[in-house]
Structure 1
Amino acid sequence: MRSTLNVLRKKLAAGRKISMLTCYDAGFAKVMEDAQVDCILVGDTLGMLVQGRDSTLPVLLQDIAYHVSCVARGTRRPFLLADMPFGTYQESPQQALRNAVTLMQAGAQMVKIEGGAELAPTIELLTRSGIPVCGHIGLLPSHVHALGGYRVQGKEDAEARRIVADARAVEAAGAAMMVIEAVPDPVARQVCEAVQLITIGIGASVACSGQVLVLHDMLGLTATPAKFVKNYMVGAPAGGDAVLQAFRRYAQEVETGAFPGVEHVYGMAAGNIGTPYGNQSGS
């Protein structure tokens, strides 16, 4: 039986954190399930990893829907989230609802959208319509051009206050989960203290309810990985189950709070993080 939000909350209540990985196909999804990874995110990172693009921006709704259906067919247990691509929810809450329905019909249990307080009406409509929502604050990959590149967010006091306010607004609108990306550890901790929903960190803080990494990054397939990445193939046993063991070790380290370590989170002086999400060129 596929996991639910209630199952995830019970795990947290028992003092164990939630593991999440991105995935785009049935084969890897099945290995993640065998490794006891809690959640799988079909991310718009597939634009860079699967389609060979320079960013996540060109990814289409039908691209995500196709890969969601692949992952859904490959698994029975993990909780399954789907990114809503750039341009599929910004126009209006009604546009977001139509497109979210497509992803839910493809097999997703929750949709993820990037943004803060400005998305409150969209989150409210989706949740009223029975569609669970995962917010995404801090570094927003779909806003990369507006942000001036992949840069740590929240270093200045005003920016940190805005991030905390966005987190509260996303929760108040009805989101059940929230990704916090590339935010200095002290600010991420403030966010976690300010909200009650499930917080998933990536380059944020071990204080989050759980962690997410991009599949290709944590398998060591990235030419220039960001600071928040740990290569779980290092030390994995040789042989056919090396990837399984890498996934399993990741899930265990997240569950116990061993990952991320201090070397995987940002301080207040952090700047650019490079080009994350498995960019093979390192550019």
Structure 2
Amino acid sequence: MSIYHNRPLVSDIRAMKKRGEKISMLFVTTPDEAAAAAEAGIHMLSIEGRFFDAEMREAAGDCFVQVGLPYGGWGSFQGRPLATGEDYLRAAFHYAALGGDAVYCAASYDIQKLLCDNHIAVVGHIGLIPSYITWTGWRAVGKTADEALALWHHTQMLERIGVFGAELEVVPDRVARYLTENSSLVMLGMGAGKYADAQYLFTEDVCGYGKTHKPRHGKTYRNFAPELERLQAERIAAFREYKADVDNGGYPADQHSVAIQDAEFDAFMTAARA
């Protein structure tokens, strides 16, 4: 695996926050997406652990990569769900060895602290947290004074235990601004307005090929959907033609087969029949 001397460190990302520089971030799932993001100069990538390997790290180039640790029933590591602090720590060290720059972890405070205490760079989550969704529903979080205060307390706790950043998802912009400006956490905003330190989108929204509901904060810059549908139709047509060719004996033809000299074949047959 290559060593990326220009890859930013946590200290570089924190310095960008301090200087007020805007940070771009994308969620990617394939090496092609990661390579395109690197070529475009995207600062940070979010990659789920199930997609992260040496090929993905290579493709990500100089991007800072946050690797998402699977949460309980949401995924598994080495064939088993993460449940204990030791499970999370083992997974975090595994992804760090592959070149992950930080891990995303939305587990309990004690598990997050365990990772931080072992010098793992940890990104937490504030606001709409998918793994906690049964408690909030799919909605903006922080639109009441009580909820906004709870977000602030959550921010303070993450800061105390050593988390360096947090995904700040679907939070009112003025609340997001307060959290961002009054915390050392690097706030990775997704639907949190323009005051977050980073703007974070999913590639499927940026490129227009998402199959699920497009969120309010999503923005499509290119619409890949018609082209992907065309390619899928062409793929199906090619497969059908191939099957028909096999069915009617049109494939393989002579040019697709390996020949043997007559003399060699005759010698083989004589030996085989002996």
Structure 2 length-normalised TM: 0.71
Do structure 1's residue 154 and structure 2's residue 142 form an aligned pair? yes
Structure 1 Cα separation of the partners of residues 21 and 53 of structure 2 = 27
- RMSD of aligned C-alpha atoms? 2.2
Residues of 2 paired with 1:66 and 1:233: CA distance? Answer: 24
1:103 paired residue number? 95
How many residue pairs get matched? 211
The structure with higher relative contact order (CA 8 Å, sep 6+) is 1
Structure 1 residue 73: Cα displacement: 2.0
User: Which sections of structure 2, spanning at least 5 residues, go unmatched?
Assistant: 225-274
Query: Paired residue for 1:15?
Result: 20
Q: 1:245 maps to which residue?
A: none
SS at match of 1:160: helix
Tell me which protein shows more helix as a share of its residues. 2
**Which residue pairs with 2:201 in the alignment?**
213
Q: 1:65–1:102: 8 Å Cα contact kept in structure 2?
A: no
Q: Distance between the aligned counterparts of 2:15 and 2:150, measured in 1? A: 30
The equivalent residue for 2:54 is 69
* Structure 1 segment 21-170 matched on structure 2, within 5 A: 21-43=26-48, 64-87=49-72, 91-114=83-106, 119-148=108-137, 150-170=138-158
User: Is residue 25–residue 70 contact of structure 1 (8 Å, CA) maintained in 2?
Assistant: no
Q: Match for residue 168 of structure 2?
A: 180
**For 1:72, what is the secondary structure of its paired residue?**
helix
Q: Secondary structure at the match of 2:131?
A: helix
Distance 1:218 1:66 in 2: 19
Report the residue type matching 2:9 in the other structure: T
Q: How far, CA to CA, are the matches of 2:17 and 2:129 in structure 1?
A: 26
Give a deviation string over 1:137-175, Cα, whole Å, max 9, x none. 111112223433x21111222111111100110011101
* Structure 1 gap ranges (5+): 44-63, 237-283
Contact 1:29 1:71 in 2 (8 A): yes
User: Aligned-pair distance for 1:206?
Assistant: 1.1
Instruction: Compute the displacement of 1:65 (Å).
Output: 4.4
Q: How does 1:165-244 map to 2 (within 5 A)?
A: 165-222=153-210, 224-233=213-222
Question: Normalising to structure 1: TM-score of the pair?
Answer: 0.68
Equivalent pairs: percent with the same residue? 26
Query: What is the correspondence of 1:260-271 to structure 2 with a 5 Å cutoff?
Result: none
Distance (whole Å) between structure 1 residues aligned to residue 12 and residue 148 of structure 2 = 31
